[in-house]
Structure 1
Amino acid sequence: MWQQRCWLQGLAYLVIIGLLGGCVSTSANEQPLEITFGASISITGKTAKEGEYVRDGYQFFVDTLNAQGGILIGGQRYQLRLRYYDDESNLERTAELYEKLINHDQVDFLLGPYGSDATSVAVAIAEKYHIPLVSGHGSASSIYANNYHYIFSVQTPARHYLNGVIDALLAADPSLKTLALLSETDSFSQDVAQGVRDYAQQRGLNVIYHGDYPSDARDVSHHLNIIKQLQPDMLLGAGHLQEALLIVKQAKSLDVTPKAIGLSVGPLLPQFRANLQHDADYILGPTQWTPALDYHGDDVWQTPAAFAQAFRQQYPQYKSVPYQVAESAASLIVFQRAFERAGTIDRLAVRDTIKGLKLATFFGPIQFDEQGVNSAKPMAVEQLYPDGQKYTVFPQAVAEQSLLYPMPAWSQR
């Protein structure tokens, strides 16, 4: 009897070991859990360079988190994947690709493309399929005009883009009274321009000229000739890289020399300096982020300087880190924290969790208002110096260098 009992106990032990062994073997053969993010990105076309920064910022976050084991969600580890296509800087192509990402690739969540108009297209599709989309690169108010429920934007709204430039110049010279404004006709630039008009009035400035030009403009000399005659204290431009280059080149050729020039997008991109060389000196550019800012976050990088250093280690071809890179990474921090706090990747639960987030990040504070706009983060200002570098000059508390003012005449450089 005793022998039979021992035999049965031994058999039971072998069965348990076999079952455990089978479980371990099956677990080892299982595919790791994954979360796939989808985006269309401008790899070619007008905004190809900005699109390159967008892509590299997304991929840097994905690579960094995966190297640390992924994200722990509800007790399970998930690896991250990025799926993107080239939208060729074309809005129709953007729409097609987000449909493809959802219906063919079956991505789990969406990230934004580059530009406000493209983001507006993507947001409508995200709403259609009830998939949360976190945008890092579309800040025009028109994106949020339809009371959508699945869009969240980490960057400062477009209407505040040039406020910091105005503040920096008035801090340097409170006697400034007039400005001229040039703006591209796309939604982002028009939003920036409206913000300039509103804020100029608040600060006691008079907008003595406002001229619009079409996207892909080849000539703004008509506007600049008028501005030359009016002699404003400052010239501000709301547009993108190619138009920013055009404005500076033609301002020089026509000898338009206000006390300062500030342009919404372009001056801080490497191509601006590469194209203009020393003609880029003294130009001011607003920025969503710089490595010099004094932010302290609970993300993996914690500070702007640490993020910049880590990014350049992985992408040594970058001499500096554009703010578009940081925007991309910040977009994914939002998803990371939402997953962790919700304890699930259920889309509705993730969306509702994002609504209530209040984050301190290397990118700055992130907190969303009822429209999904980050209402917590200010802009900074950088200036291109004659030494070939660009420096944060505003806010003054974190300035790397003093603002060079006034801008010398073209003939005196």
Structure 2
Amino acid sequence: MTQSLTKRWAIDVRPLSIPAYRRMWVGNAVSFFGFQLTAVAVPVEMFAITDDSFWVGLLGIAGLVPLMVFGLWGGAVADAVDRRRLLLASSVLMWASTAGLLVQAVLRVESPTLLLGLVAVQTVAFAISSPTRQAIIPRLVGRDLLPAANTLSHTTTSASAVVGPLAAGLIFGTMGTEAGLPVAYGVDVLFFAISFWATYRLPPIPPGEERASMGLRSVVDGIRYLATTPVLLLSFAIDLIAMVLAMPRALFPQVSEERFGGGGAVGWLYSAIAIGAVVGGLTSGWIGRVRRQGVALTAAVIAWGVAIGFSGFADQLWLVVLLLACAGAADLVSAVYRQSILQTYAPDKYQGRLQGVFITVVAGGPRLGDLRAGAMAGPWGVTLAWAGGGFAAAILALALVLAFPALLRYRISSADG
């Protein structure tokens, strides 16, 4: 009985038996811990320099344009060249941009414009490396293990997203902002070396027989294919709604100071969503058995919006963390199904380009959400910017899938690639 329950609910670890995937999994988990320190440090530094949440929101825009351009182009390149080599090259650029953040913190430049520029460069590297990395996974594990591999990846990066912000909160709470910034950026630079090693150890992953070009025509071909697949379009659209309208992270530094007295509270806010994702991942044995993945994806997006909405009204830190964690658990489920539907539905020759569109939506949505939240907080207040966006996302996502029900009808058995 105990073994049956464990098999039904515990996370599926079968992909870890594949050495190449296992190394990538370890490297990504460790490097993502360092990246989370930077993800907290940059907005904290920006708020410390400007004392304005609008500038914190502008960090999202600084990353949005390079994300859109290089996400789409990087996906096309990933379909045309050896994906391992492309991942190595983009990793070097990511490493250099993080080192730049470290240097400016050590020198105490205190320039919001420089911060925006370094975030833009870092996003260029991220926009190329992320679709490439995701396009590699189906080659490593095969179609049957994709839901399990995606769940493992999301769960472990979420675990890093728990420990990373909490560590950042501890650093800033004990050392202060000025002394803590170089430490946070320095750990990120150091830990990224492990991810680079894991990428270096990957086998060559050349393009398939139908090699794509690296120009605009290749990007257009990928978008044209996407336009003919309502299931993928709708999965992208409801995620965009959820992230633009219901992502409150640009408000975390201000809420931490005004409601909870600063200090380590900012770390709890930044880690709360990831805490829920980890709990959801560790009890995710059921995810691979769901056939109506479109319905499950839609339900998870609606649950995200509702949980975010209620968390915006909470004035106790433990309650905000709990509600954000519920949102994080829903987000893990939606992320796994979005990625699995894409990797299963699209043929390998389009994987890089569609992953480029995917990462543009998935990472671009929160950046637009940062701008929306930061811009609304000034004239309408933090509560409306936070809670109103959450409930609006849930309502709009439900209305969209009811109006265009292709996603609700999607079953995994219908995905024949």
TM-score, normalising length: structure 2 = 0.26
TM-score, normalising length: structure 1 = 0.26
**Higher relative contact order (CA closer than 8 Å, sequence separation 6+):** 2
Structure whose CA Rg is larger: 1
Structure with the largest fraction of helix: 2
Structure with the largest fraction of strand: 1
